[in-house]
Structure 1
Amino acid sequence: MVRQRMTGKERREQLISIGRTVFAERGFEGTSVEEIAARAAVSKPVVYEHFGGKEGLYAVVVDREMIRLEQIITDALSKGRSRVRVEQAVLALLTYVEEETDGFLILVRDLVPGKDQSYATLLNTAVGQVSHILGNSFERQGLDPHVAILYGQALVGMVSMTAQWWLDEREPAKEVVAAHIVNLCWNGLAGMSSTPTLSDEVQEQLRLAGEK
């Protein structure tokens, strides 16, 4: 049986998928065009034809991951009460780490050659969104909304660092990790619960997702 030849678009998508896997395994410096071409069963010039080299392929992979993760976090922060939004965002990031491990590894490990976008850029976007949510909450409580940016930086930094730790540990379950993160950021050290749980709204979301 003769194997059908890939279209240019199909070949490009294949190379992006393979490149994503190899970059996650070996990092940018440890990855070669030779290995990507070998895994795709093509010659090196095919990779150069589509992306101009390793740097071009890497930039496409990172751009896609940035867009994907930014959309995930933005969606999580877009609806619900302030606490629910924070819970949804923490869970969304941990779910991305769990389900798209290769993508997360690429974002947190390497910088993109010749580009100013990075995981830090994405986190800055999240800081702006979280600070806006916190600022509204502060105003309702009679607190100074101008310091919301400080709290936004602290919250996003805490979640990001915990996600990187959980990348290797994978214990406890992401729902437990999220509950403890929100316990600290929402209640503070002086008011933390000994048995934190996620809000009823988010637990219901998880239940419905599990039934699909």
Structure 2
Amino acid sequence: MTRNVKDDGRSSRWDSHRETRRAELVAAAVRAVDSGGTDVSIADIAAEAGVSKPVLYRYFADKAELHGAVGMWAARQILDAVVDAVLAPAPTRERVEAGVAAYVETIAGHPNVYLLLVRQHTGGTDPLADGKQLIAATFARLLGDTFGRLGVDAAGAEPWAHSLVGIGESAGQWWLDRRTMSRAAFTRYLSEFVWHALEGTTAEYGVDLSALDRPEIVTPLRKSPR
């Protein structure tokens, strides 16, 4: 006979503790990479966290899983900053420019972390994969809502969103690697590119993107739940 075991909440408390501890270890990894550069070791991360490597591996199966968790952390930082910027009340082009500026500011705040993640991508498993999917899904919803309000076919929202993510990743890596221009100049060039891509897309459908600035069209957009 099977005995029914009453759930006393210990399992949920352990899950909550585990997630909290993982977040603390990810924060330690970010600090270690910020200060030590892209070649920082697992031992360095463990030391920053004040734990041994075996303890670190209780929470992450391997180095790739830890990098993936850092990648999701970075994606959420980018997403929060960009979405807040593009949803702020302002003319449409200014919101696009603000979104790009927020992205550049975010990666500039943790250049070693960002470069570590994109270089890991080129060398094998992509630690940014889940994070990029999250960003693209949010962008797709925002684009779909925007084009829907303009009466434009929004079927392309998903590939357009993934294209924006790819452009941002590639251009961001180039700038952080080269630093051959100022942040202001890079932000301006990237903003112009993104704006004209969006403006050109709507123009193909005979719609002026600046129509979003008219009061009868503008309606609040909501953030996707994360």
* 1:164 aligns to 2:176 (yes or no): no
How big is the shift at 1:124?
A: 1.9
Between the aligned partners of 2:21 and 2:155, the Cα distance in structure 1 is 50
Amino acid corresponding to residue 192 of structure 2 in structure 1 = N
User: In the comparison of the two structures, how many residue pairs are matched?
Assistant: 175
Quote the offset at 1:120 in angstroms: 3.5
Matched, 1:97 2:110: no
Q: Which amino acid aligns with 2:95?
A: R
Deviation string, structure 1 residues 159-190 (Cα, Å, up to 9, x no partner): 432222111223422222222233344457xx
| Contact map agreement 2:132 2:165 (CA 8 A) in 1 | no
Q: Are the counterparts in 2 of residues 77 and 88 from structure 1 also a CA contact under 8 Å?
A: yes
Task: Give yes or no for the alignment of 1:65 onto 2:65.
Answer: no
Contiguous gaps of at least 5 residues in structure 2: 1-17, 198-226
1:124 maps to 2:133: no
* C-alpha contact 1:127 1:152 (8 A) present in aligned 2: yes
* 1:1-212 paired onto structure 2 within 5 Å: 15-20=25-30, 21-22=32-33, 25-26=38-39, 31-32=41-42, 34-38=43-47, 40=49, 42-80=51-89, 81-110=91-120, 117-125=129-137, 127-129=139-141, 131-132=143-144, 135=147, 139=151, 152=161, 154-187=163-196
1:72 is displaced (CA, Å) by: 1.5
- TM-score, structure 2 normalization: 0.56
The alignment partner of 2:147 has SS state of: helix
Name the structure 2 match of 1:199. Answer: none
Which range moved further: 58-67 or 35-44? 35-44
What letter corresponds to residue 136 of structure 2 in structure 1? N
